[in-house]
Structure 1
Amino acid sequence: MAVNWQGVYPAVTTQYNDDLSINFDATQQMINTIINEGVDGIIALGTVGENASHTRAEKIAILKAVKEVVAGRVPVISGVAETSTQFAVEFSQDCEAIGIDGLMVLPGMIYKSDEAEAIHHYQQVARNCNLPIMIYNNPVTYGVDVGIEGMKVLAAEQNIVSIKEATEDTRRISELYSAFGDRFIIFGGVDDIALESLMLGCTGWISGLTNVFPRESVAIWKLAQQERFTEALEIWRWFLPLLRLDTVPKLVQCIKLCEQLAGRGSELTRAPRMPLSGEERANVVRIFNEANESRIDLTKFNLD
């Protein structure tokens, strides 16, 4: 199955009204803005999109709204984060019916699978829908690592085409390329090691903080692709304090607060996630303000 997924794919937030109903207009406006600022694809209903905080009907409505505003300009990939394999299969079939371009499949939620169970979960989704699939391998958060031998099993599924590599061990990227060559499209999935991941050959970067600073994210990607790493480092070092916010348990609240500070969205999240407060909130505000006040003039890199 041939797909052309590369570049910067923000894991977009879902925007809410004050009563925590979905604000479809604000969600669409946010997505339209970041596409106009140069991102290469959209990940809807990932962790940052609060997938597990929505009913199945809400998820379908969100995806329809995302598909409408994107209007074919870039690929739209939906997160699949369900409590059972059967629910994951059914939701994947919903995505196919809507016309979503691909799936980012997580292991089963709540119960922590072992590797064999996770492989079975991914196989069943792949065998029961026709969409291209990205495996989201994040043992730090989800408690299961599908390693090289496991990926050899999954390589037999022709519509499993990509891996979001989020083990936080950059050695895994080289191991994947050594084992599989170009069989899988490999995305870096951890914001604060994204540049290292791109230097090691990742063809894309799935990012939370791109929602807040999309132009800087795209500039890092373009410079890395041109092997202009010294220039990329200048932006990277500026960006790194913000990117570290993507690796903490309250990453969703951190990213949405930064969106609000940047005038790009609201910090509202659904419970059990609660707004940041006290020193925790003050630290995020400080990091954002320092970054915003010292933004780099991107025009000097001549990337257009």
Structure 2
Amino acid sequence: MNWKGVIPAITTNLNADLAVDHAALAAHCRWMIESGCRGIVCCGSLGEAATLSFEEKIAVLRTCVAAVGERAPVVLGIASLSTTEAIAMAEAAEQAGAQGLMVLPPYVYSTDWREMKAHVSAVIGATKLSCMLYNNPPAYKTDFLPEQIAELADEHENLHAVKESSGDTRRVTAIRAVLGRRLEIFVGMDDAIVEGIYAGASGWIAGLVNAFPAESVALFDYASRGDKVRAEKLYAWFLPLLRLDTVPKFVQIIKWVQAEVGRGTPYVRPPRLEISGADLDHARKVLTTAQKLYPSL
């Protein structure tokens, strides 16, 4: 698959009873693609993967694939407590029509490079699907260093991209220095997107795109083609919203923003609860300001 551009890490639409709303999910996927996004990543952290069963994840994937058809690829996030389950999920994803996998280290258990390499290698090697390695040391306590990523790339022809969420944009240039153009590099933290592109990233696994897809695509395009005047103006407006993607309650907040703009519901599965109190006050203030100062694209 073509790993480039804005690819939303979509939220998982839920009904009031917290069951997956597949009709709303399909509509959401279509809106993302119609707004210029280049693909869909489902069942990632933002998609509340940890609260979805194995069967629910594959059902979500099937809905996404059916919704976008041949217009764009659908990628399944592969995160599991065990390597055995992660492999089974990768194999099921291939059978269900996924065109790519976003491969995470095992959540909860994080250890040395030998074990983490064995885990992600087993998942990447389980299918012929195009794979993205997800590096998110703040969340998963595993940091895939550029030299280690290069080692994986040497051993797996189907490893085509890395989602870099360390929060250090110097990692983009460090990966490029070691791997050249062997892998596509995606920014995984919303509030580092422009800096990441200027450093050499070619894609964005985005979060606030779930509520603002046209704006996300415009920002990515301006920065990618070097239109710094437009990029800086739009980024200045967007940045307070994008920072909502980098806080512990980002799932609840982004879903709340979606609901406020008429493109979703705020429902989340426990242990998450809908935002309230100071978190809600802050999100409302950020969104209200953004709506008042909405720029032309």
Query: TM-score higher than 0.5 here?
Result: yes
| Equivalent AA in structure 1 for residue 65 of structure 2 | K
Q: Deviations over 1:216-259 (max 9, x none)?
A: 11111111221111210100010000111100111100100000
Per-residue deviation at 1:116?
2.2
Superposed displacement of residue 121, structure 1: 0.8
| 1:257 maps to amino acid | W
Cα distance in 2 for partners of 1:115, 1:276 equals 37
Is 1:204 aligned to residue 236 of structure 2?
no
Post-superposition Cα deviations, 1:156-215, rounded to whole Å, max 9, x if no partner, equal 211111100111111110011011111101101110011100111111011100111111
In structure 1, distance between residues paired with 2:158 and 2:32: 28
Secondary structure in 2 aligned to 1:206? strand
Aligned pair 1:78/2:76, yes or no? yes
Cα distance in 1, alignment partners of residues 228 and 92 from structure 2 = 41
1:116-168 Cα shifts (integer Å, max 9, x gaps) = 22111111112221111100000011001010221122012111111001111
Map 1:199-238 to 2 at 5 A: 199-238=198-237
Identity of aligned residues (%): 39
Match of 2:186 in 1: 187
1:157 aligns with 2:156: yes
Deviation digits for residues 46-82 of structure 1, max 9, x if unmatched? 1111111111111111111010001111111110011
The residue identity in structure 2 corresponding to 1:84 is S
Q: Is the 8 A contact 2:147 2:178 kept in 1?
A: no
Asked if 1:144 corresponds to 2:142, the answer is: yes
8 A contact 1:107–1:113 mirrored in 2: no
Secondary structure of residue in 1 paired with 2:91: helix
The corresponding residue for 2:264 is 265
SS in 2 for 1:163: strand
Say which SS state the counterpart of residue 75 (structure 2) adopts: strand
Which one-letter code corresponds to 2:93 in the other structure? C
Please list every run of 5 or more consecutive structure 1 residues that lacks an aligned counterpart in the other structure.
Answer: 299-304
Q: Is the 8 A contact 2:62 2:96 kept in 1?
A: yes
Equivalent residues in 2 for 1:35-74 (5 A)?
Answer: 35-74=33-72
Q: Which amino acid counterpart does residue 219 of structure 1 have in structure 2?
A: A
Equivalent position of 1:93 in the other structure:
91
Runs ≥4 in structure 1, deviation > 6 angstroms? none
- What's the CA shift for 1:30? 1.3
> Is residue 292 from structure 1 mapped to residue 288 from structure 2 by the alignment?
no
The residue type paired with residue 29 of structure 2 is I
> Which residue type is aligned with residue 67 of structure 2?
V
Alignment size in residue pairs: 296
Tell me the distance in 1 between the aligned counterparts of 2:267 and 2:6.
25
| Structure 2 CA distance for aligned equivalents of residues 118 and 146 of structure 1 | 9
**1:104 offset after TM fit, Å?**
0.3
SS at match of 1:79: strand
Q: Unaligned stretches of 5+ in structure 2? A: none
- Normalising by structure 2, report the TM-score: 0.98
| 2-structure distance, mates of 1:263, 1:152 | 43
Contact 2:193 2:204 in 1 (8 A): yes
Cα pair 1:44 1:79 within 8 Å, conserved = yes
Task: Note the alpha carbon deviations across 1:69-98, whole angstroms, 9 max, x for none.
Answer: 011111111100111111110000000111
Letter in 2 for 1:120: A
Report if the CA contact (8 A) 1:7-1:40 is conserved.
yes
Pairwise CA RMSD = 0.9
Secondary structure (helix, strand or coil) at the match of 1:43 reads: strand
